[in-house]
């Protein structure tokens, strides 16, 4: 089996604090997948 490594980063804070901006910058910089749970929650609720 190959050596698979997984990275999970959770970012928390109040509305308007820049969580999404920081998450996108980290994902771009480190070439990571991004799961925006805020968008997910809004899509399910709509």
Q: Which residue has the higher pLDDT, 39 or 27?
A: 27
Task: Measure the CA–CA gap between 20 and 31, rounded to whole angstroms.
Answer: 16
pTM above 0.75, yes or no: no
pLDDT digits 0-9 by tens, 27-37: 999 999 999 88
Instruction: Of 31, 39, 34, give the one whose Cα is nearest residue 9.
Output: 34
């Amino acid at each position: 089996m190959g050596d698979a490594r997984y990275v999970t980063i959770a970012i928390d804070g109040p509305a308007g604090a820049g969580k999404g901006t920081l998450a996108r910058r980290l994902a771009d910089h480190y070439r990571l997948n991004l799961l925006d749970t805020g968008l997910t929650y809004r899509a399910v609720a709509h």
